[in-house]
């Protein structure tokens, strides 16, 4: 047996107590890549959990400046090793090196780490709330145990379990992280982990602040998220695996934040196509095929009014889909799911406009695929026709009239995004009927542009009602709100002033912290 790549537990790279092994596959050649990675047994999991619990106690007593310094140094170290990290991610995911990996996703990732560092120093994310009349003060603080992060296959950096948004948020709240690598890109994750633990040692954080396991079997994974000493879990990935982990975590009373599938409905009101069909065709094709459609906010369902305008739209999109080069899919798993997803949609009544079969070639690929179905047919099986086919596929629902449009929207499940394209003026009254229905079903509502592209903004909501996520009140992207997922509410009642955490003492630490004192937000000191 080849030597297994070591896991990172308690600050040490050590031989895994493995129950099996696996290799990463280059999706462009279908060949295994060097490096044999361990499937960790319960022993590894339990050791990382106890290490994290001890680290959590130490971190709670660590000055936040130090945690901020770690995040900043980590970002710098990743940038310094950019070429090697990008090359590895390219081999493991097939995503283009430039611009995607090198000029877009990596800077976004280090940008997130730096934003998290600023949030940690600023402390406003803790929402300090002071009631001087009753002598009660509260803020958000760390959870007191390890946070488990499961990263998805489609963002090897920005959502990586040891470098992405959930990681940054959990660390910023003051929790240690146990990262479970995505098995599609273990080598990328390993390189990131090397820089993470390097930055941990350099800045003197507890050794077990960052730990890395590559894989576990399902049963061990369920034990991990439901363990007594685990504080919470962040999971981004496929629905079925996510729901299995949710069940285990829920039963143990452990918070779990999920980002599952989403088909991101786009509603085209008639005026939009009439006024600027060409532009919309272009926006849709780019949004749908970018990254071979492998985005959580990919526009997978488009609702248009049947008629000659939309037939024109379809025919122009079809031409563009047929002409566009085929991208590489992330893995054989993605290809299989996509193939099955399209087959299921066809079986439920969708028809092929374009594509609909394997892409051929050396790597994993599938034709750029456009499907269509009538509103009536959709309404006969709304659940089946909302099945996500993750990748370069979109389904057009052709509705007959306004009332069928509204009926279709009422059948939608929870989604991350919902988009309404409308004319400059003429669609206002229809918009006012469409919006209230769509609003309650999506986390982010857009006008007049496609949903791909998730800005790291304090106002962003990368979340939405179940089953897009597990709770409609939380976002996975956008600091400071994403940090509060991994925090508990700490209330101090009649606690002596010198014993309070700095953000709740009379004096504003640093003078920049925003606090809600007696009903008003202020950066002033508290005059108790």
For the annotated catalytic residues, the residue numbers are 259, 296
Contact between 490 and 481 under an 8 Å Cβ cutoff? The reply is no
Q: For a second copy, which is the closer residue by CB, 7 or 67?
A: 67
Q: For a second copy, which is the closer residue by CB, 232 or 326?
A: 232
Q: For a second copy, which is the closer residue by CB, 138 or 211?
A: 138
Candidates 39-47, 75-83, 394-402, 495-503: pick the segment binding a second copy (CB under 8 A). 495-503
- Given CA atoms 477, 478, 481, 483 in this order, what sign does their dihedral have? positive
Segment 207 to 226, residues that bind a second copy, using CB under 8 A: none
Burial of 216 (0-12, 13-18, 19+ CB in 10 A): buried
Helix %, strand %, coil % of the chain (to 5): 45, 20, 35
Segment 53 to 72, residues that bind a second copy, using CB under 8 A: 56-57, 60-61
Segment 70 to 109, residues that bind a second copy, using CB under 8 A: none
In sequence order, the β-bridge partners of residue 38 are: 21
Contact between 142 and 55 under an 8 Å Cβ cutoff? The reply is no
First-last CA distance in the chain: 68
Segment 4 to 63, residues that bind a second copy, using CB under 8 A: 56-57, 60-61
Judged by CB under 8 A, how many residues of this single chain contact a second copy? 76
Candidates 137-145, 163-171, 326-334, 357-365: pick the segment binding a second copy (CB under 8 A). 137-145
Q: For a second copy, which is the closer residue by CB, 96 or 382?
A: 382
In sequence order, the β-bridge partners of residue 305 are: 399
Segment 255 to 294, residues that bind a second copy, using CB under 8 A: 255
Nearest-angstrom CA–CA distance, 345 and 366: 15
φ and ψ of 14, to 5 deg: -135, 160
472 makes contact with a second copy (CB under 8 A): yes
Segment 401 to 420, residues that bind a second copy, using CB under 8 A: 417
Number of Cβ within a 10 Å radius of residue 11: 18
Q: For a second copy, which is the closer residue by CB, 351 or 448?
A: 448
Go through 323-340 and write b for each residue having 16 or more CB atoms within 10 A of its CB, e for each that does not: eeebbbbbbebbbebbbe
Q: From residue 392, how far is each of 113, 133, 326, 368 by CA, in Å?
A: 30, 58, 9, 5
524 makes contact with a second copy (CB under 8 A): no
455 makes contact with a second copy (CB under 8 A): yes
488 makes contact with a second copy (CB under 8 A): yes
Contact between 466 and 439 under an 8 Å Cβ cutoff? The reply is no
Candidates 35-43, 155-163, 376-384, 440-448: pick the segment binding a second copy (CB under 8 A). 440-448
Binding residue (CB under 8 A) for a second copy from 63, 253, 308, 323:
253
Q: Cβ of residue 133: shortest distance to a second copy, in angstroms?
A: 8
Q: Apex CA 231: angle with CA 225 and CA 237, to 5°? A: 45
Q: Cβ of residue 129: shortest distance to a second copy, in angstroms?
A: 4
Binding residue (CB under 8 A) for a second copy from 55, 130, 163, 273:
130
Q: Cβ of residue 50: shortest distance to a second copy, in angstroms?
A: 13
Binding residue (CB under 8 A) for a second copy from 3, 308, 496, 511:
496
Q: For a second copy, which is the closer residue by CB, 41 or 244?
A: 244
Q: Cβ of residue 206: shortest distance to a second copy, in angstroms?
A: 14
499 makes contact with a second copy (CB under 8 A): yes
431 makes contact with a second copy (CB under 8 A): yes
359 makes contact with a second copy (CB under 8 A): no
User: Quick one: three-class SS letters along 234-258?
Assistant: EEECCHHHHHHHHHHHHHCCCCEEE
Q: Cβ of residue 162: shortest distance to a second copy, in angstroms?
A: 24
Nearest-angstrom CA–CA distance, 489 and 200: 27
SS3 366: strand
227 makes contact with a second copy (CB under 8 A): no
343 makes contact with a second copy (CB under 8 A): no
489 makes contact with a second copy (CB under 8 A): yes
Q: From residue 193, how far is each of 41, 93, 212 by CA, in Å?
A: 20, 18, 7
Q: For a second copy, which is the closer residue by CB, 162 or 173?
A: 173
Contact between 414 and 465 under an 8 Å Cβ cutoff? The reply is yes
Contact between 377 and 349 under an 8 Å Cβ cutoff? The reply is yes
């Amino acid at each position: 047996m080849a030597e297994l790549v070591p896991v990172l537990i308690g600050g040490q790279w050590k031989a895994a107590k493995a129950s099996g092994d696996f290799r990463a596959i280059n999706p462009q050649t279908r060949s295994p890549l060097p490096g044999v990675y361990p499937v960790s047994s319960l022993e590894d999991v339990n050791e990382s959990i106890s290490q994290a619990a001890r680290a959590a106690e130490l971190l709670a007593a660590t000055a936040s400046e130090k945690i901020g310094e770690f995040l900043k140094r980590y970002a710098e170290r990743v940038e310094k090793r950019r070429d090697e990290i990008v090359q590895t991610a390219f081999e493991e995911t097939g995503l283009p090196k430039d611009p995607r990996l090198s000029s877009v996703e990596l800077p976004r990732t280090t940008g997130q780490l730096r934003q998290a560092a600023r949030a940690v120093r600023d402390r406003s994310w803790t929402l300090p709330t002071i009631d001087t009349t009753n002598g009660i003060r509260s803020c958000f603080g760390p959870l007191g145990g390890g946070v488990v992060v499961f990263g998805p296959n489609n963002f090897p950096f920005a959502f990586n379990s040891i470098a992405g948004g959930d990681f940054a948020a959990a660390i910023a709240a003051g929790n240690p992280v146990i990262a479970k690598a995505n098995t599609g890109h273990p080598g990328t994750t390993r390189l990131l982990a090397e820089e993470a633990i390097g930055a941990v040692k350099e800045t003197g954080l507890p050794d077990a602040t960052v730990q890395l396991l590559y894989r576990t079997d399902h049963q061990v994974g369920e034990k991990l998220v439901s363990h007594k000493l685990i504080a919470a879990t962040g999971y981004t990935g496929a629905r079925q695996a996510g729901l299995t982990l949710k069940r285990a975590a829920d039963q143990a009373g452990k918070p779990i934040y999920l980002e599952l599938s989403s088909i991101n409905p786009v509603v085209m009101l008639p005026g939009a196509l009439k006024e600027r069909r060409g532009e919309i065709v272009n926006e849709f094709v780019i949004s749908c095929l970018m990254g071979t459609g492998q985005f959580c906010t990919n526009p997978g369902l488009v609702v248009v009014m049947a008629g000659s305008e939309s037939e024109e739209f379809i025919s122009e999109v079809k031409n563009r889909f047929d002409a566009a080069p085929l991208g590489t899919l992330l893995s054989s798993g993605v290809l299989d799911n996509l193939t099955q997803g399209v087959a299921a949609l066809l079986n439920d009544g969708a028809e092929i406009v374009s594509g609909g079969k394997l892409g051929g070639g050396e790597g994993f690929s599938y034709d750029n695929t456009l499907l269509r179905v009538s509103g009536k047919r959709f309404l006969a099986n709304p659940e089946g026709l909302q099945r996500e086919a993750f990748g370069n596929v979109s389904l057009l629902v052709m509705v007959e009239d306004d009332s069928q449009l509204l009926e279709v929207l009422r059948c939608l499940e929870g989604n991350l995004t919902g988009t309404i394209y409308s004319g400059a003026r003429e669609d206002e009254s229809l918009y006012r009927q469409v919006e209230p229905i769509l609003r309650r079903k999506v986390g982010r509502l857009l006008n007049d542009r496609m949903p791909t592209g998730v800005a790291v903004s304090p106002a962003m909501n990368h979340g939405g009602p179940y089953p897009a996520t597990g709770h409609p009140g939380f976002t996975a992207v956008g600091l400071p709100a994403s940090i509060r997922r991994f925090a508990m509410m700490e209330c101090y009642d009649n606690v002596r002033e010198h014993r309070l955490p700095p953000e709740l003492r009379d004096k504003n630490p640093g003078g920049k912290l925003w606090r809600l004192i007696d009903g008003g937000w202020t950066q002033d000191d508290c005059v108790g």
